[in-house]
């Protein structure tokens, strides 16, 4: 088996893909995006994946350190606006005559997340979160326009990530430079989804959308 040594830096941030899991199953049945045509991806932050290292002392020394494993991850996504697809399919809102309604019994599905950017060689790169759930945003913030011109108020989605039970996967990272392809990466992140090629941009020419 050939092993590729690589490091991955990142430039920019082009889109987010949410793979929506079926009820009570870790199989992706639908994919929703945030990109230049649907909400506008601005920022992705993840944290909390490092597990807790526990040190045991004996004979006046640090004698043993337990395996860290992983912790409960936090995922925060910032977009320019909230699209109907994300509101209804990721956050569980209901659309009623042009109104997005959040009810007290709202339920959000588990999702798998792929964030797409570029590496330092200008090739596509991806960060994947295997299983997460995003909650209803805490609130809304409106701010008056000033004499420097109007500035949009961004939308922030916050979620928690857990281990995917079927394969114990937590997160992934890859790039075209490392030899990975979007199809291979998305197949790993979106188990059971049959229309992955629809979202593959690696064959788009330099003049296309990124």
User: How many CB atoms within 10 Å of residue 142?
Assistant: 5
Task: Please tell me the distance from the alpha carbon of residue 178 to that of residue 157, in angstroms, as a whole number.
Answer: 30
Query: Please, which residues have CB within 8 angstroms of residue 175's CB and are 6 or more apart in sequence?
Result: 6, 8, 119, 121, 123, 124, 125, 126
Indicate the domain borders of the chain. Answer: 11-141+164-199
Nearest to 130 by CA among 143, 114, 119: 114
pTM for this model (two decimals): 0.82
Digits of tens for pLDDT over the chain (210 positions)?
A: 455 566 777 888 999 999 999 988 999 999 999 999 998 999 998 887 766 667 777 776 666 666 655 667 899 999 998 899 999 999 999 999 989 999 999 999 999 999 999 988 889 999 999 999 998 876 666 677 777 777 778 889 999 998 899 999 999 999 998 889 999 999 999 999 999 999 998 754 344 444
């Amino acid at each position: 088996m050939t092993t590729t040594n690589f490091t991955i830096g990142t430039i920019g941030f082009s889109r987010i893909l949410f793979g929506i899991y079926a009820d009570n199953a870790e199989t992706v049945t639908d994919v929703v995006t945030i990109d230049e045509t649907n909400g506008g991806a601005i920022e992705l932050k993840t944290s909390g994946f490092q597990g807790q290292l526990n040190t045991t002392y004996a004979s006046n020394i640090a004698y043993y350190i337990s395996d860290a494993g992983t912790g409960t991850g936090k995922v925060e996504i910032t977009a320019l606006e909230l699209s109907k697809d994300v509101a209804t399919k990721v956050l569980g809102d209901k659309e009623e005559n042009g109104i997005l309604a959040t009810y007290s019994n709202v339920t959000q599905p588990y999702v798998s997340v792929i964030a797409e950017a570029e590496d330092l060689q200008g090739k596509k790169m991806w960060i994947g979160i295997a299983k997460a759930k995003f909650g209803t945003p805490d609130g809304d913030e409106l701010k008056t326009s000033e004499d420097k011109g109007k500035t949009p108020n961004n939308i922030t989605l916050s979620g928690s990530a857990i281990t995917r039970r079927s394969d114990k996967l937590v997160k992934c990272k890859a790039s075209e430079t490392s030899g990975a392809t979007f199809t291979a990466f998305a197949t790993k992140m979106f188990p059971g989804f049959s229309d992955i090629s629809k979202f593959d941009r690696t064959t788009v020419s330099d003049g296309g959308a990124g």
